[in-house]
Amino acid sequence: MSSGASNFIESVDGVFIAALGLSIFFLLLITVLMLVFVFKYSRKRNPKATNIHSSTWLEVTWTIIPTILVMILFWYGWTGYKEMSDIPEDALTIDVTAQMWKWDFRYDNGVRSDTLFVPINQPVVVVMHSNDVSHSFFIPAFRIKKDVYPGRERRAWFIAQELGEYDIACAEYCGLNHSGMYAKIVVLPEDEFANWLYNR
Ligand SMILES: [Cu+2]
């Protein structure tokens, strides 16, 4: 099993770090080359302008290499996205209602809570609705974010892999108290979760 607070940490962080690393590499490469060229081909050193002709191999190279890099990033982004879209059939279903400015969680047996309790190492699907405007269900520690719209059902899933308490935020500006629209997700051991849900 992969490491991290949820099953999506590795794929999401992997793409992010790859994109960031590539960006830093090209930032340095282009900046250094620019400075070298500014110095080497300054007017002082080259009082007489020279006519430069096109170079086919150079143009092909700087087209093909970035295309390959972008395709690699796309591939990892796509496979990660697909993994997030393929919801396991045996996932525990929890209804989520978003409204200005709170989250409401409802379980199959009718239990309601303003804190999202989930069992560890078990797929959970959140089925989301909005009572009013657009919100966005965001668990930063799990790398999960899904917009929630009025009049539509939206789904997201995850496997919590570490016990503990994490923030749930609203990530879509939804009015005056948007910045206060937080809830908690609490990951419990299987038996404690069952105890919380059924023995009340
Ligand atoms: Cu909101």
- 100 plus 192 within the same structural domain: yes
CATH number, domain with residue 54: 1.10.287
If you measure from the C-alpha of residue 172 to the centroid of ligand 1, how many angstroms do you get, rounded to a whole number? 6
44-58 confidence digits (pLDDT tens)? 888 888 888 899 999
- 69 plus 97 within the same structural domain: no
pLDDT at 99: 96
Rounded to two decimals, the pTM is 0.85
Q: Would you give per-residue pLDDT tens digits along the chain (200 residues)?
A: 457 899 999 999 999 999 999 999 999 999 999 999 999 989 888 888 888 889 999 999 999 999 999 999 999 999 999 999 999 999 999 999 999 999 999 999 999 999 999 999 999 999 999 999 999 999 999 999 999 999 999 999 999 999 999 999 999 999 999 999 999 999 999 999 999 999 87
Residue 2 covered by a domain: no
If you measure from the C-alpha of residue 68 to the centroid of ligand 1, how many angstroms do you get, rounded to a whole number? 39
Q: Where are the alpha helices (DSSP H) in 41-181?
A: 56-85
The domain boundary residue, chosen from 35, 60, 85 = 85
The domain boundary residue, chosen from 30, 61, 85 = 85
If you measure from the C-alpha of residue 177 to the centroid of ligand 1, how many angstroms do you get, rounded to a whole number? 8
If you measure from the C-alpha of residue 113 to the centroid of ligand 1, how many angstroms do you get, rounded to a whole number? 17
In whole angstroms, give the CA distance from residue 154 to residue 115: 19
Strand order in the sheet with 123-130: 112-113, 102-107, 92-99, 123-130, 154-159
How many structural domains compose the chain? Answer: 2
Residue 3 covered by a domain: no
Is the peptide bond preceding residue 57 cis, with omega within 30 degrees of 0? no
If you measure from the C-alpha of residue 95 to the centroid of ligand 1, how many angstroms do you get, rounded to a whole number? 16
Could you list the residue range(s) of the whole structural domain that residue 70 is in?
9-85
If you measure from the C-alpha of residue 143 to the centroid of ligand 1, how many angstroms do you get, rounded to a whole number? 18
pLDDT at 2: 55
